Amino acid sequence: MSVQTLDLSSLQGRDEERYDDEIAVTHPSDTRSAFREEYGELTHRTIKDTAPRFEYCMSWPKNDDGENSAERADMRTELLEKLAECGLIYSLTTSRDNDEVFCRIAAPMDRLEIEAERLGLSCPEKPIQVTQPGITEDELKKFTRGKAVKKEFSPEAGARHQVNYVYSRYTRKESNKFQYGGDFHAFTRRRQYLINHIIQSTKPGCCGIDTDRYISKKILKSYFPLHETEVRKWLLQHWVKYWKLPSPINFQHIRDYFSEKTGLYFAFLDFYTKALLIPTVIGLAVFALQIVVTVNSDSNGVDGAISVWSQNTVITPFFCVLLILWAALFIKMWTRKSNTITFQWGSFAHESKERNRPNFRGLNHPRFNKYTAKYEEYYPVGRRYAKMLVGAVPMLAVIVGAAIAYVQVYLLKVYLYSSAELPSIVQSVLAGGMTAVLIMVLNQVYRRIAKVLNNWENHRLQSKYENHLIGKIMAFGAINNYMSLFYIAFSTEYRGIVCSDGSRCLNEEISDPSIRSEDCEVCVDSVNRMQSLGQQLLFVLLFKQVLNNVIEIGIPFLKKFVKSQLEKRALKKQHKDVSKQTLSRAGQESKWAEYDTFGDYEEMVIQFGFVVLFACAFPAAGIFALINNVVEVHVDGYKLCTEFRRPKDQRASSIGTWLSVLRILTFLSVITNTLILGYTSDSLEKLLAGITAAVASYTDSNTSWVLVAIAIEHVLILGIAAIFLFIGDVPRPVLKEMEGLAAYARKKRIEQLKKGYAGEEEGELEKIAARNKRQYNLSDCSHEAPTETRDDSEFMVSPSDIELEIENSTPAGATRRTTTTL
């Protein structure tokens, strides 16, 4: 298929201040037909026919006096010319201290409609009712020349389906069938996606500007989408500052304004927070029972029981079993919820055809890809694996250093127990606080190392890059966050302190402090082990969650504050009144940090591990996780609206590798809890003694609890596997919607088949190329650079991408496969 040349001469970029920040895009229904014109007729239109608003901003230094500054200046001039040639509108302004240039970019709606149609942008259609069309056997044979077709192509006629979520490629001629005439009319994130595509794509009519490389070469300083002032204020008022129950989070609004990737994170946070209600209620009940047991067996009363509670009760194993099953059900129910959400958003089961990462560097000689029939940048897999092996050395060094640091912290805790005059609860707080700070510091150090090594490995695709980064950070994160707890639970070197007479451990209240100066040795009392483990988990959870929230808000605020103060100092040097120099919207947002969901997902996954891996040590951990997540919703919303730049529009079909990490933690929780119950505590021994009424036979046996622990572990793993295997990933309502989509797809294919057959008889149908499954109309991309595939494949919807393959014979006797998609 030939590519039609676009005449964009009338859509020239202009440095016009009249396109104000607050101008909204409006398209009355009576003028919508104007956007169905052919490309050539657009030459009679002008940019004054639309009222675009600035959606993107790029900046660069105004006084660039460094090396190769003249070359960079020429590149910037060429950049502006490209923006103008491609029909974009730009406005140049300077910062209030006159040291930075901001180029705000907009696009007329007719230009965006052209790009949406060329790109095949997937847009939601209006809800429809589909009546299954009938097709006679004679017609079927006529269309297919008597060849067999799939059974699903000819169902019973007359079936009616309500279809609420239909996504298809945007066309201007059929704009009335789309919601809002195309969702980019209503949502700025979609317009920003199209503008970004016009700027970065190498297709004819686009600028072909690789902004990441421009930034790395210091041609540009920043490149980011702009916030909408009114929408941002509305979100602050109705989401961030709204503290009443039920939770104010509306991930649909978040998705519409920020991106689907961001919306899906908040959907996960909302679902996880609500799911925590179950372990919170059960855990508090178990914790209360443990306190009651301790009160009944301790003369110190309730106050002593709260500071030293007994986890070694027969109900603890049952709580662990319930919590582990809850974790498995939570993961499965979230998978179903996620599939429902992404189906409604049109990204269900989407597999993105990605372009190469901007920072990917291939060899000097591209390699021919027989699957895409293009020359592509290539980097040897063996060389990448070699880099991974070399990079493992510094990673292991950091892990060993972390282990040494944690051992030192606990040696200090042992010293405090044996010699200090502080109460035991204060000593536990100090040890927990030091551990939390150590975790945060080591995590930041390792994260920087992991990013450097991941960049060095030179991954070609962004998805591969992110998956390897998640693997590196979570491998260390698990060790960094959980090592102290494993040390307490399983190390034989530290259990607490017991006096030389062996009468009591120092975890109990001692009326005579002078006893601490007596000869003491390691205590192996199980009550002391579980108490230390529970206290450590409690204080690490508290300190870590508080520090995380402070850092999430504090660091971006400090960065923004420092940049603002430096700018004010520059204004004073220029003898300008700071109070009269207003900060523009672009200037304000340029000082903000870039947002990514990676850190937020990591925080939630690590917290999930604390709750499930050590459930038997501190059953009330769920309440602290729940409270943190309620606060987290508002903290994340605040930083998104006030501290971070608006994220680029990105689609997501799931939470990705994080779901696999959650599954791994769930399986590991079976092992950790059974080991703690059998080795660190004597809960299993007490349970067995109660069941068999033979206390003596189990008290001195080391093999009995091992066998019981192994049996429980096998049963739980089988239970988790059964939950993952036998509960479906897609809810029934979504399956019903898919049936409607299938009926709609069949109807469209029958229409296409009839039209294609008629056109072939008239000699007007061009030869249809065979396409691989899930590949879309790539015929207009044959001129692209070798490294680029279809940019908007991520916006195509899999449920409606149901294919029919018909084999028939060409006049030459060859076999031809015709693939039609919705």
Distances (CA, A) of 390 to 402, 452, 799: 20, 13, 43
**Structure tokens that stand for 4 in this block:** 């039609």
pLDDT classification of 287: cutoffs 50, 70, 90: confident
Q: How far apart are CA 497 and CA 505, in angstroms?
A: 6
Note the pLDDT of residue 139.
53
Note the pLDDT of residue 16.
36
Predicted TM-score of the model (pTM):
0.75
- Stretch among 273-282, 546-555, 634-643 having the lowest mean pLDDT: 546-555
Q: How far apart are CA 172 and CA 470, in angstroms?
A: 41
Note the pLDDT of residue 282.
92
Nearest to 271 by CA among 527, 604, 525: 604
**Structure tokens that stand for 175 in this block:** 């704009």
Note the pLDDT of residue 575.
57
**Residue 46: strand, helix, or coil:** coil
Average pLDDT over residues 276-283: 93
Highest mean pLDDT of the ranges 68-77, 163-172, 577-586, 742-751 = 68-77
**Structure tokens that stand for 632 in this block:** 């987290």
Distances (CA, A) of 603 to 274, 544, 591: 17, 10, 25
Note the pLDDT of residue 520.
45
pLDDT, one tens digit per residue, over 34-85 is: 222 333 333 323 333 446 788 999 999 888 777 788 888 889 999 999 998 8
pLDDT, one tens digit per residue, over 386-413 is: 888 888 888 888 878 777 777 777 677 6
Alpha helices in 350-423 (DSSP H): 381-419
Note the pLDDT of residue 413.
66
Higher pLDDT residue, 700 or 31?
700
Higher pLDDT residue, 153 or 226?
226
Average pLDDT over residues 466-493: 78
524 contacts: CB under 8 Å, gap ≥ 6:
495, 498
Note the pLDDT of residue 135.
55
Q: How far apart are CA 197 and CA 647, in angstroms?
A: 15
**Structure tokens that stand for 700 in this block:** 């001195």
pLDDT, one tens digit per residue, over 573-623 is: 665 655 555 667 888 888 888 888 888 998 999 999 999 998 888 888 899
Domain definitions of the chain by residue range: 29-127+164-226, 235-299+311-508+515-563+595-730
Is residue 131 left, alpha or beta, with left meaning phi > 0 and alpha meaning psi from -120 to 50? beta
Note the pLDDT of residue 519.
44
pLDDT, one tens digit per residue, over 655-714 is: 888 999 999 999 999 998 888 887 777 666 666 665 554 444 444 445 566 777 788 888
Q: How far apart are CA 667 and CA 724, in angstroms?
A: 11
Residue 722, Cβ neighbours under 10 Å: how many? 11
- Stretch among 337-351, 390-404, 661-675, 745-759 having the lowest mean pLDDT: 745-759
Using the predicted structure, report yes or no on whether residue 247 has a pLDDT greater than 60: no
